[in-house]
Structure 1
Amino acid sequence: MEIELKQYVALVQKKLWFIASLVLLASVAAGFVSYYVVTPRYEASSKLIVNKSIETQGRDDINFDSLRTNAMLVKTYKEIIQTPAILDQVVVKYPELGLTAKDLLDMIRVSSTIDTQVMTISITSLSYEKAAKTVNAVSEVFKSTIPSIMKVDNVVILNEAKPDESVKPVSPNVKINVAIVFVISFMLALGFVFLQDYLDDSIKSERDIELFLGLPTLATISMVRPDELIGKTAAKSTRMVGDTVYANANQ
């Protein structure tokens, strides 16, 4: 196992230039595409709270059951917001947005924290100003329409999006994209190197002869560098007589 691990390490060191080149090229390409090619998208959101109805606001009857009931209503309201009963009215009341009900359905996302009465409506668009105006329109229409649907007025807008606010796009995230591509390209490069080595059936060492051919190694011929050949040639050109070393030289 130790020998195999050393072989893998040696293989990676041998192909390090290939791995590094592939990872660098893929990471640079991911950063370029994320920064210059992919169109940035912006997100605006507003928060609403499902409270007790106006008819019961003067009563001192808030308890755990009523809070739990309002929290359960949030799930129902999350579904109602994304129905034509709300989206169609947004299209009619705010024609300046230039959106259809299908466009709104693709842009909208409604979320809530478990066991709370707060809902968050989020709209994603190519322009933050348009996203903010759209999410505010959806919030207003939902607040004004829910009493006729549920026969209770218990929705309050906590905060609206500000169209003139300067925000950063939510996508693409260049750093995350580059990090993901870096990891994936590194794993693919390693896999390719190991696969190439596995499919290569050429003999590289004495161990390969015993492993693939089942034959013992009788002798080996070592690699000789050019500088070693020069050294040996120079050594042969000298001869010793007694205790004195003489060198042959052609004048």
Structure 2
Amino acid sequence: MRQREEQIEENGIDLLEMLAVLLDKAWVIILVGVLTAGAAFGYTKFMVTPIYQATTQAYVLTKAEDAAVTSGDLSLSNQLLGDCASLLKSRPVTDKVIEELGLKMSSTALADAITVTNQENTLILNISVSNPDPYLAKELADKVRDVGANHVTEVMNLKAMNTVQEALIPSKPASPNIMKNTVLGGAAGVVLTAGIILLIFLMNDKIRSQDDVEKYLGIGVLGAIPSTEDKTKTKKKK
């Protein structure tokens, strides 16, 4: 094996030879890829709990309704986003939502399920809540918006935070992504199998042919003695 390693270091790795090895074992690589893809699909489909996400929207009023919204107000929305997001996920809001809906979950768990973003160059907030139950996800999103609106306007001294649209009951889960996980599972199987095959090839120091003798030992071959197996085959043909 050491001789082969020294030969590889001296002459470099024969990429064509490595490619030939992979092509020779292509059926193994493909088979493992199919199996790992199937395993990833089955695990994602039947073992992972689907999570649904419902989103509601609210408009933040920073001044009197009859005043025009200026570019300064829009730039302020970026600063408001962080504050509003923190307040909407704060304990006073989550505790009250849990209490009003009569839920058995922790304030921390609800806060982790809430995501707040804003539409670019607007004062509109997107309030999303994730939950395994699509109906509860919708109910939670609307309740967080309503309870949060009172808390946000009071703490930040805003004019109001009005509802733009209520959340809809999500028709399909937001996660997991079955197709993505299946593809990644198959790709992982292919890469891992190919890597193992190449590793075995590089670690194999057996001399299999005259070419190997000349390539790895640097010795010319004058003749070859046929193996017992070859002799047996020759006799059978006769």
Do they fold alike, i.e. is TM over 0.5?
yes
Which bracket does the TM-score occupy, shorter chain normalised?
Answer: 0.7 to 0.9
Aligned pair partner of 2:55 in 41, 45, 55: 45
Distance 1:166 1:124 in 2: 10
Deviations 1:31-50 (A, max 9, x none): 11111121212111111222
Question: Alignment RMSD, CA only?
Answer: 2.6
> Aligned runs of 1:81-160 on 2, under 5 Å?
81-95=88-102, 97-160=103-166
Residues 114 and 218 of structure 1, relative CA distance in 2, 3 Å threshold: farther
After TM superposition, give the deviation of residue 94 of structure 1 in Å: 2.7
- What is the one-letter code of the residue matched to 1:104? L
Q: How many residues align?
A: 226
Distance 1:107 1:225 in 2: 74
Residues 112 and 226 of structure 1, relative CA distance in 2, 3 Å threshold: farther
After TM superposition, give the deviation of residue 142 of structure 1 in Å: 0.9
Q: Answer yes or no: is 1:16 the counterpart of 2:26.
A: yes
Whether contact under 8 Å (1:74, 1:118) holds in the other structure is no
After TM superposition, give the deviation of residue 226 of structure 1 in Å: 7.9
Larger RCO, structures 1/2 (Cα 8 Å, 6+ apart): 2
After TM superposition, give the deviation of residue 91 of structure 1 in Å: 2.4
Distance 1:7 1:74 in 2: 58
- Over 4 Å off, 4+ runs: 221-231
After TM superposition, give the deviation of residue 128 of structure 1 in Å: 0.2
Aligned pair partner of 1:212 in 213, 216, 220: 216
Deviations 1:194-247 (A, max 9, x none): 00101111002223213333322212457869887666x4xxxxxxxxxxxxxx
- What is the one-letter code of the residue matched to 2:49? T
Deviations 1:81-105 (A, max 9, x none): 111132222223332x333311211
Aligned pair partner of 2:37 in 27, 52, 55: 27
Q: SS of the counterpart of 1:90?
A: helix
After TM superposition, give the deviation of residue 183 of structure 1 in Å: 1.1
- What is the one-letter code of the residue matched to 1:169? P
After TM superposition, give the deviation of residue 22 of structure 1 in Å: 1.1
Deviations 1:37-84 (A, max 9, x none): 21212111111222333xx2223x432112222342122211211111
Matched with 2:171 is 167
TM-score norm. by structure 2 comes to: 0.83
Q: Answer yes or no: is 1:73 the counterpart of 2:65.
A: no
